[in-house]
Amino acid sequence: MEISPNPDSEEKNQDIVRKRQKIITGSLLFVGLAAFTFGIYRITGTIDSPFKIKSSQITDSSSLLNSSQQTEIEQLKNKDTDKDGLKDYDELYLYQTSPYVRDSDSDGSDDKNEVESNNDPNCPKDQNCQISQTAPLEEATIPSEGELSSEDLRTTLKNMGAPANLVDAMDDATLQQVYDQTLAETGTTTDQLTNTGEIPSNLEDLAPSETSSQAITLETLQSLDAAQLRTLLQQSGVDEATLSQVDDTTLEALYQQALGEQLQTVQ
């Protein structure tokens, strides 16, 4: 006697499969969105880093730092991300080298070796990186404020230590928007950004408030709609087939959740 399949049982099995697919798709998108928002924060931090206050330049710097910032500084003093022998704190605030790259000027010699041999770790060997004080202003090749093209901006960020894959994954409009808003918040110019070894005189004015730069970036990220998210995720490597399985409402909800998770990690 042949037993016919139970329609209710088949429907339940199909529901289970659909739910599993949604969970897998949602998880993939969540990871992609989390990576994207974290990448935005890393790039923003790269732009901010050259203008943070040096403790040696202010008599009572501890009064300007909250406990979270003091903890971060202590971590930097004990961390060597690129394993070149120089602590991240010294690379950021003393030598103005990249804490993510062993050889900041790409001349074949590690930053520590150049520091110990009294060479400039930001200037390749056999090159004169100092601009003559008597040279006419028109001979300087430093871009003026507002003149950084998207290509120049990407090159500048990579030279400052921003991950190349994250910089390249962002479209020109988003990258420029994050860059412009960060500069506006810190009160810096492109001249100061491209001359990271030169500390501006108005240090206290350049110091961002406790969460101001994060607030600006967060405002930008929160304004992204579903269409923009789909474009950014595709550029970040998420395939279209995965994206097509999620409606706009769910995508935006997942994005806000990923954004919230990243905020908790950086606060």
Q: What is the mean pLDDT of residues 136-140?
A: 43
Q: What is the mean pLDDT of residues 70-91?
A: 87
Which pLDDT does position 71 carry in this prediction?
Answer: 82
Burial (CB < 10 A; 0-12, 13-18, 19+), residue 75, is: exposed
Which pLDDT does position 149 carry in this prediction?
Answer: 76
Instruction: Using pLDDT thresholds of 50, 70 and 90, give the confidence band for residue 259.
Output: low
Which pLDDT does position 69 carry in this prediction?
Answer: 74
Which pLDDT does position 28 carry in this prediction?
Answer: 47
pLDDT score of 141 more than 50: no
**Tens-digit pLDDT profile for residues 15-64:** 765 665 555 445 445 555 555 555 555 555 555 555 454 444 544 555 55
Q: Counting every residue, how long is the chain?
A: 267
Which pLDDT does position 76 carry in this prediction?
Answer: 85
Phi, psi of 108 (to 5 degrees): 95, 0
pLDDT score of 116 more than 80: yes
Which pLDDT does position 118 carry in this prediction?
Answer: 87
Q: How far apart are CA 139 and CA 233, in angstroms?
A: 42
Q: What percent of the chain has pLDDT over 90?
A: 0
Which pLDDT does position 18 carry in this prediction?
Answer: 63
Which pLDDT does position 189 carry in this prediction?
Answer: 52
Which pLDDT does position 212 carry in this prediction?
Answer: 39
Q: What is the mean pLDDT of residues 81-107?
A: 86
Which pLDDT does position 218 carry in this prediction?
Answer: 52
Instruction: Using pLDDT thresholds of 50, 70 and 90, give the confidence band for residue 254.
Output: confident
Which pLDDT does position 229 carry in this prediction?
Answer: 75
By the 8 A CB rule, do 100 and 82 touch? yes
Mean pLDDT score of the chain, rounded to an integer? 65
Report the b/e string of 124-135 with b at 16+ CB within 10 A: beeeeeeeeeee
Residue of higher predicted confidence among 156 and 119: 119
Residue of higher predicted confidence among 207 and 68: 68
pLDDT score of 142 more than 70: no
Q: How far apart are CA 51 and CA 140, in angstroms?
A: 22
The full set of domain ranges for the chain reads 33-266
**Tens-digit pLDDT profile for residues 194-228:** 444 333 333 333 333 444 333 334 566 667 788 87
Q: How far apart are CA 199 and CA 50, in angstroms?
A: 8
pLDDT score of 176 more than 50: yes
For residue 229 the two structure tokens come to 């998210």
